[in-house]
Chains A and B, each alone.
Chain A
Amino acid sequence: MLAEFGLAALWLAAALAALQMYAGLFGWRQPDGPVAALVRPVAVMQAVLVSGAFLTLIALFMRTDLSVRLVVMNSHAAKPWLYKFAGTWGNHEGSMLLWVTVLAVAGAMVALLEKRLEPKTLVATLGAQALIGLGFYAFLLIASNPFARQLPAASEGQGLNPLLQDPGLAFHPPTLYFGYVGISIAFAFAVGALITRDVGPAFARAMRPWVLISWVFLTVGIVAGSYWAYYELGWGGWWFWDPVENASLMPWLAATALLHSVTVLATRDGLRAWTVMLAVVAFSMSMVGTFLVRSGILTSVHSFAVDPQRGSFLLMLLAIYIGGALALFGLRIGTVREGNQFDPLSREAGLVINNLLLSVLLAIVFIGTLYPLAAEVMTGDKLSIGPPYFNSVSAAPALILVVLMGVGPLVRWRRDEPGAVARRVLVPALALLLAAVIAVVIWGGKIGILPLLGLIVAGGTAVASLAPLAKRSLRRTPLFTWGMVIAHLGVAVSLAGMAADSAFMQERLIAMKIGDVAEIGDFHVRFHDVRPVAGPNWTAVEAELQVTRGSSHIVRVMVPESRQFWSPMTETSEAAIATLWDGQLYTVIGKADGAGGWQMRLWWKPFVTLIWLGGLMIALGGLLALIGRLWREGGAEVWKNWRAGRGRVAASGAAR
């Protein structure tokens, strides 16, 4: 009964999305007319209905309703409740339902909260948003119905891929989806503004919070995904250039560019067409990301099953949306007047270079990710593009980008004097020089050229990213400036972690017997014991390693595990990771070697934690910028009114 309720809610929501699209795209000319008046309430109703459908699916998973096909395929009564819950979106259908739910809820938020945008542009925006949603409703209802029944009911479910049975799963995919959806809202704003020819600062200010919030989610999603792969896969790496990782990186790169150009449009009314184009690119990348992950077209941990119908459906959606957006852009952009001018030496020019370098990186990742597919379709060659390509090709543009990131915020808007810029850049430049001298003297010739450059650039930009605070009252510095400083500092911190890990990482692979001691870095790892353990739906072998450092006593007891799940039959390694102030010791137990020993893999990874710490700083910076902007553009007023209102109430109470 519950499943039918969910399906009905989903169909109704889809119908409302069609109505919203019609009312928005045909009603915007008269924003006060009866047709346009439908748009907002319908957007809210649609969100309520599709949320109902999603909650229904969660309920079906929590109850392990084995008459629903999706539950049978992906769940199991013996699973811990958290994974039953998270398993709702740990599969294709459920994750697509989550996608449209978030999209509809975001649309409802635009309908309820957006007050500054011109009414006709808002109506057109919501129409465009419904059009995006409609494609995904069609996809769900036609090609991937999550509520399909299986009769007669199965006696037990098939379980969830054990690799995905991890708290990271409850968190990582939805975070990325929020990011993708936020970008599609930003794109809907761009389409709305193109339709009504209203590309200007007001539109940019309405779009900016959505760009910021989706960028924060994408950042957090990428950081979480990277850490998840690091501790769960047991390979000691933190980024594999896996197509699915790239599927989240590409929208992030585009959103980063958009984030910087939308600021130019909002504050200086420049880069109008440029910003709209970036919104189109960012949306295309989030669609490509969804396509790569959901069509099962790539060889990857993340592709669930190869299903040509779904793949071609998504490809068609992708072509329609991206083609439509580009066509609209081509038709309308001629009528968008050029924004304000700027000098070649100005903040705007710096942000243009930022956008160009980010686009270059995006193109490199895009080509590397899709080339194997294109080659197979065209020539039948099967090939794979791995880390050697991505690392060697993207390193130079990325390092240049980070260096310029240090300089950009020190340049004034509109126009600046070379001498003045040189004075402001002096201290960071000296820091860079100092870092270079120190690094070359200590490590020159001992570590690779890229890690060396990375350490130098990280040192220089760390100082440079703090420079915008110089000679300012820290208390009066606006929150969004703090956001920028923290995010830029985060880039330097993250880069330092990446460089330190690849320069100084040590790795050992050995067979150990009980009582053996292995040395790595200045650690002694003693293999103390090995024993079997059992969990709710797995059994495991765990090793006890006693770790000492230098001449000190036991620093940590580490317990790596090798787990055997029985539904489905799978093994996973649970690495044991000891986090110390200057890095992480990472241990994995392998197989018994048949002669009384066990394979052990040990890594000492100095300062590797900085990678994720920096990533979180980037996300925090975005969050502060978002709060600062919302405060400056309306939040402060609302707060003042509310305080004033309370004051009146208090005064009238006192008078009585």
Chain B
Amino acid sequence: MKAKNQRLILIVAAVVAMLGAVLLAMSGLKDQAAYFYAPSDVLRSPPALDRDVRLGGMVRTGSVKKLADGVTIRFVVEDERHAIPVEFKGIVPDLFREGSGVVAEGKFVTPGQFVASNILAKHDERYMPPQMAGDKHKTGRVS
């Protein structure tokens, strides 16, 4: 193999590999990206039923109920305009509280019922997901 050829082959191989990676990643993203919704976003444009989404808002005060099996809970996630009932089976994170911020990962099983597979709560009182912090700013300006 000539010197020039080898460098060329290496460059071509690298470019092909990178293109392959990008295509692979893009197809994965199309199927797997989970969009973030606030309750009022769901009101405006509800997500498809089988799709993984994140639902973020405040836990309505007085809404947390334990079911008889002791490990399933129901609560309501709300923002200023809309509220969505959520069901979750599991141990809620340490800082999950009524009246406090929450992000639930999961799916809508029916248009009005969200089943969470995972609950993220803020990890200390200074921490808040930037997505939610952004929403606060927006609504703050509106009101």
Contact = CB atoms under 8 A, between A and B. Distances in A.
A341 to B, nearest CB: 6
A456 to B, nearest CB: 22
B20 interface: yes
Interface in A584-632: 588, 590-591, 593-595, 597, 599, 601
B17 interface: yes
A360 interface: yes
Given A386-B32, A573-B94, A590-B91, A595 B70 contact: yes
Nearest to A296: B130
B29 A382 contact: no
A393 B18 CA distance: 14
A510 B70 CA distance: 7
Interface in B87-105: 89-92, 94-95, 105
Given A367-B25, A389-B33, A591-B92, A352 B13 contact: yes
B52 to A, nearest CB: 7
Interface stretch (B77-85, B107-115, B119-127): B119-127
A503 B67 CA distance: 31
Interface stretch (A175-183, A464-472, A486-494, A564-572): A564-572
B131 A392 contact: no
B33 A601 contact: no
A299 B129 contact: yes
A341 B1 contact: yes
Nearest to A368: B25
Interface residues of B, number: 48
Contact of B24 (A364, A384, A510, A562): A364
A306 B21 contact: no
A569 B29 contact: no
Contacts of B32: 385-386, 388-389, 392
A344 to B, nearest CB: 8
Interface residues of A, number: 61
B7 interface: yes
Contacts of A384: 33-36, 54, 105
B20 A386 contact: no
A574 to B, nearest CB: 11
A599 B70 contact: yes
B120 to A, nearest CB: 8
A511 interface: yes
A363 interface: yes
Interface in A267-285: 271, 273-274
Given A571-B94, A593-B70, A599-B71, A161 B24 contact: no
Nearest to A589: B91
B14 interface: yes
A360 to B, nearest CB: 4
Contact of A364 (B6, B25, B36, B94): B25
Contact of A570 (B17, B25, B31, B123): B123
B121 to A, nearest CB: 10
Q: For the complex, would chain A's binding face be called helix, strand, loop or mixed by DSSP majority?
A: mixed
Interface in B1-41: 1, 3-4, 6-7, 10, 13-14, 17-18, 20-22, 24-29, 31-36
A367 B94 contact: no
Interface string A365-405: 00110011001000001111110110011000100000000
Contact of B29 (A304, A360, A371): A371
Contact of A509 (B52, B91, B123, B130): B91
Given A274-B10, A306-B130, A588-B91, A597 B70 contact: yes
A330 to B, nearest CB: 13
Contacts of A343: 1
Nearest to A573: B94
Given A341-B6, A388-B52, A299 B124 contact: no
A383 B21 contact: no
A461 B13 CA distance: 25
A299 B33 contact: no
Contacts of A593: 66, 70-71
A594 B22 CA distance: 51
Nearest to B134: A382
15 contacts: A356-B13, A357-B17, A359-B18, A360-B18, A368-B25, A381-B35, A384-B34, A384-B35, A384-B54, A385-B32, A386-B52, A392-B32, A393-B24, A568-B124, A571-B95
Interface of A: 161-163, 271, 273-274, 297-299, 301, 303-306, 338, 341-343, 352, 356-357, 359-361, 363-364, 367-368, 371-372, 375, 381-386, 388-389, 392-393, 397, 509-511, 562, 568-573, 588, 590-591, 593-595, 597, 599, 601
Given A299-B131, A303-B127, A510-B70, 10 more contacts: A271-B10, A364-B25, A371-B33, A375-B33, A384-B35, A568-B125, A570-B123, A570-B125, A573-B94, A590-B71
7 A-B pairs with the lowest CB-CB distances in the bound complex, closest first: A511-B70, A571-B94, A590-B91, A382-B36, A363-B21, A393-B28, A389-B32
